[in-house]
Structure 1
Amino acid sequence: MTEYLRRSCLEADDIAELAKRIGGSVFAPDDAGYAEAVAAFNLRSQHRPWLVVAAATTADVQAAVGFATAHGMPVGVMATGHQPFPVTEGFLLITTGALSTVEIDAERAVARVGAGARWKDVVEPAQAAGLAPLHGSAPDVGVVGFTLGGGQSPFLGRTYGWAADHVNSIEVVTADGALRRVSAECEPELFWGLRGGRSNFGVVTELEIGLFPVTSFYGGGLYYPAEDIEAVIRAYFEVVRDAPDALTCSLAVLNFPPVPEVPEPMRGKSFAHVRVTHLGSDDEAEKLILPFRDIGSAVVDTVGRHPYVEFAAVHTDPTDRFPYEEQGITVTDLPAEAIDVIVRDARRAAGSPVTALEIRHLGGALARRPGEAAPVAVREAVFSVWGVTAGPPEVVNAGMAVLDDMLRNLTPWSTGYVYTNFAGRDDRAEDVFTAADLQRLRTLKQFYDPHNLFRANNHNITPE
């Protein structure tokens, strides 16, 4: 404790006093429970804060922010820790996992969601009311981080738009310790900035989000062997070229490790994984994906009519913690020359240290701008190309070198911006916001957080 207190300039009595005011828990680095409290889903993003406040209530968050302000400590926020931010030490980390309440208002088609809730916590009760949220591909991702990073739903996004545009109100604790409920009518500028700026302006403790009348979908996954990668990619671009907004389709080249946890047909092999979600009729969906059917029988085919609660089976994202790095790029419509580049690099990705190389079709409602649109820089993008490498450091480093080279090859067609939720560890605010939005965000930061208290564990927006 002595070395920790010396480095952090905190007094043991100060920490003890904070602990008395907290209904949750307070951990210093040498306390039992500290390691679990700071454990992120991404095992390569294990931060080393001087203090952790595991908030159990909104009042805990206010007390933690007040303590940090009084002691000149930067603040970071974490719910699940999926995104790889630069590893930081010397700050106060507020974890919000316990703030996981979910309330569904079926009459208004909205959900009130606590800061620690995950998508699986929302989808099931929403489905009981015949509704669905604009969620991501993984059930264990946090609702707040996903939504306030723009929120591109690979299921409903092309039909309804960005999740950030369908936030009705936000409860947030700002740097002065005040609890504010902001909306388009109440403190509209802060409401705008939070819907993209995430934890740069305060600790969000609750969202009210819109829900949509969807109870089933026609879709699933198609797995093709590595030798069919080129045929699958060319079929993919044929399918999405004039696709209706009701169809969402993505494609990933996957390299499965040779471990017992992977089913025998996939173990140690490479595949092209097509993910399909269609909100129309079964017959219409089959007509739209006919180019994939023409390739031949897939090794695995789960495409069919599914209840919406089975959404996680489409992408089959991992649910256990693991170490990884990710990086993405967004691109404009891809001409034949660019598709040839993707084919070449996708074949190169198969059998490489890259764990997954993914192409997502955007457009549709994602390209349409509502009145006071959230600061999402990639609305003009037609595709997102993203990759991830998982494993021990030497594998991750090798995979990221390959991935960086692949994404660089798509630079001629880049929008110049990265989708916030797919940004890598070294991406900055300038990479995820347009210049005009970033200037407006910095002015907002100057007003609500002039000392840049909220500068850890985010794409930091500095005050003007």
Structure 2
Amino acid sequence: MIRVEGSVYRPGDPGYDAERDGFQLHGQHRPDVIVAAAGAADVRAAVEYAVERGLPVAVQASGHGLAETAEGGVLISTRAMDGVRVDPAAGTAWVEAGARWEKVIAEAGRHGLAPPSGSSPNVGAVGYTLGGGMGLLARQYGYAADHVRAFEVVTADGRARQVTPGDELFRALLGGGGNFGVVTGMEIGLLPVARLYGGGLYFDSTAEVLEAWRAWTETVPDELTSAIAMVPLPDAPVIPEPLRGRHVTHVRVAYTGDAESGERLVAPLRSAGEVLMERLGDMPYTESHTISDDPPHPHAYAGAGTLLTELDSAAAFAVAGPSAEVPTVLQVRHLGGALAKPSPAVIGHREARYVLHVVAGLDDPDTPGGPGAQDVEAVRAYQRRQMDALGGVGTFLNFHCGPATESEVAAAYDPDVYQDLRRLKATYDPANTFRLNHNIPPASA
């Protein structure tokens, strides 16, 4: 029996299905036991229970980054652990394991600050950061992992540890995902950003628009972070009229300078093609989710991503354009700037200039990227072929939706770093209890 302050669910119990549900609707967890943790003590109890019985442990907050499903074993749901405390004098926030970025953004915004959050505010902040975290202002401020000051983590021996810079476990958590324990909270530095110039331009999808954006990225300052997305949109009332039923390219911009300078920087993009719709302007950071306008509702999808030193616009267009073999949403983000600078985080391939991410909807006819049910294995095989053809230098696991092969996980890190992570895995989780993730296997004796 597990004694916790929160709740425990087993298959068939009322509330079991609701607690295991997450944003990703394909391949949902089906554990033997769910511990809906109310705090760090509950997490410790759940880990001890699993280790004593030789069971694997999965962790879920929002369920966006589902890598491996729990078929049996123990699922620790952290969604009730959603506390956020901002220290405006120190410029930091303490974020519990289940808090989503939307809550951190709101709390920080009251003090004229912003977290290093990404395009979607309903993503869990801790899981995002453990994977590295590539935010809206990443070219100026780097990865979210670069801003962490401390973690509280429960390791496989049942110990609750506070780890800080200088601890080898601290470094492993900065990009090593959930391989080394269950993080129950983190202290993260906030950014001195209250407002930004941002939004997007929409075009019909062509290789020429993609190439115009690529060329433009070579001219912009580090204070401007941008991305481009090609999206097949349904002919539905929820879609703005100029975009309905079209395959559109959405250029997304976030710039921390003033609006007048932002207008000058963005102006060359308007010659890339006919602008179908424009949403650009000065905004508080608390409205930054409108820049990418990511889908807010749970759905089923599969995705893969690769880091690139060069972007072949024609090849990328073939992957996800209107004539693509598999209906796909493609996103390319511009890297460089602070993302290229060394830091304690274990994130590899900082020389990459772009990260390309493809997502296909699996069974929802109203989800961009998929007109209906698609076979998941066929979709993933297509995505892997396309990633290989694009000549990527590595994997960015935050953008890998679904299971990753051992080689794909290894490709997220520099080779010597990966071997060191395997050594640390053998130290802190020799039985690989935390393997329901983008798994780093422990080094053998």
Query: Which of the five TM-score ranges fits, normalised by the shorter chain?
Result: over 0.9
SS at match of 1:235: helix
Q: Does 1:214 align with 2:193?
A: yes
Q: Deviations over 1:328-377 (max 9, x none)?
A: 1111034xxx2332344453457x6434111110111000013xx21101
SS at match of 1:303: strand
Match of 1:142 in 2: 124
Aligned AA (1:272): T
- Distance, in Å, in 2 between the alignment partners of 1:136 and 1:45 is 24
Alpha-carbon spacing, 1:418–1:33, altered in 2? closer, same or farther (3 Å): same
Q: Does 1:285 align with 2:262?
A: yes
Q: Does 1:367 align with 2:340?
A: yes
Is the 8 Å Cα contact of residues 421 and 440 (structure 2) preserved in structure 1? no
Match of 1:307 in 2: 284
Alpha-carbon spacing, 1:223–1:66, altered in 2? closer, same or farther (3 Å): same
- Match for residue 203 of structure 1 among 182, 186, 191: 182
- Distance, in Å, in 2 between the alignment partners of 1:426 and 1:173 is 24
Aligned AA (2:356): V
Q: CA deviation at 1:235?
A: 1.6
- Match for residue 327 of structure 2 among 350, 354, 366: 354
Is the 8 Å Cα contact of residues 140 and 319 (structure 1) preserved in structure 2? yes
- Match for residue 340 of structure 1 among 292, 314, 322: 314
Alpha-carbon spacing, 1:295–1:195, altered in 2? closer, same or farther (3 Å): closer
Q: Deviations over 1:14-42 (max 9, x none)?
A: x3xx1xx2111101112111111111210
Q: CA deviation at 1:401?
A: 5.3
- Distance, in Å, in 2 between the alignment partners of 1:118 and 1:345 is 32
Match of 1:5 in 2: none
Q: CA deviation at 1:296?
A: 5.2
- Match for residue 26 of structure 2 among 44, 48, 53: 44
Q: Does 1:92 align with 2:71?
A: no
SS at match of 2:176: helix
Q: Work out the percentage of aligned pairs sharing the same amino acid.
A: 41
Match of 2:410 in 1: 430
Alpha-carbon spacing, 1:391–1:426, altered in 2? closer, same or farther (3 Å): closer
- Distance, in Å, in 2 between the alignment partners of 1:347 and 1:74 is 40
- Distance, in Å, in 1 between the alignment partners of 2:41 and 2:296 is 31
Is the 8 Å Cα contact of residues 43 and 322 (structure 1) preserved in structure 2? yes
Is the 8 Å Cα contact of residues 349 and 357 (structure 1) preserved in structure 2? no
Which ranges of 4 or more aligned residues in structure 1 deviate by more than 6 Å?
none
Q: CA deviation at 1:295?
A: 3.5
Unaligned runs of 5+ in 1: 1-14
SS at match of 1:249: strand
Q: Deviations over 1:183-219 (max 9, x none)?
A: 014xx10111111122211110000001111011111
Q: CA deviation at 1:324?
A: 0.5
Structure number, greater radius of gyration: 1
After TM superposition, list the pairs within 5 Å mapping 1:9-24 onto structure 2. Answer: 15=1, 18=2, 21-24=3-6
Aligned AA (1:262): I
> Between Structure 1 and Structure 2, how many residues are aligned?
432
Q: Does 1:189 align with 2:159?
A: no
- Distance, in Å, in 2 between the alignment partners of 1:339 and 1:248 is 19
Is the 8 Å Cα contact of residues 378 and 419 (structure 1) preserved in structure 2? no
After TM superposition, list the pairs within 5 Å mapping 1:62-461 onto structure 2. Answer: 62-153=44-135, 155-185=136-166, 188-226=167-205, 229-295=206-272, 297-334=274-311, 338-348=312-322, 353-370=326-343, 373-392=344-363, 394-395=373-374, 397=376, 400=380, 402-411=382-391, 414-415=392-393, 417-427=394-404, 428=406, 429-461=409-441
- Distance, in Å, in 2 between the alignment partners of 1:241 and 1:77 is 40
Aligned AA (1:442): R
SS at match of 1:198: coil
Alpha-carbon spacing, 1:447–1:285, altered in 2? closer, same or farther (3 Å): same
- Distance, in Å, in 2 between the alignment partners of 1:457 and 1:346 is 27
More helix by share: 1
> TM-score by structure 1 length?
0.89
Q: CA deviation at 1:399?
A: 5.1
**Which segment is superposed worse, 280-289 or 317-326?**
280-289
Aligned AA (1:176): D
Q: Deviations over 1:282-333 (max 9, x none)?
A: 2322222222122355221111111111100000001111000011111103
> TM-score by structure 2 length?
0.92
Superposition RMSD in Å? 1.9
- Distance, in Å, in 1 between the alignment partners of 2:78 and 2:330 is 31
- Distance, in Å, in 2 between the alignment partners of 1:140 and 1:218 is 22
SS at match of 1:406: helix
Is the 8 Å Cα contact of residues 354 and 403 (structure 1) preserved in structure 2? no
- Distance, in Å, in 2 between the alignment partners of 1:377 and 1:449 is 22
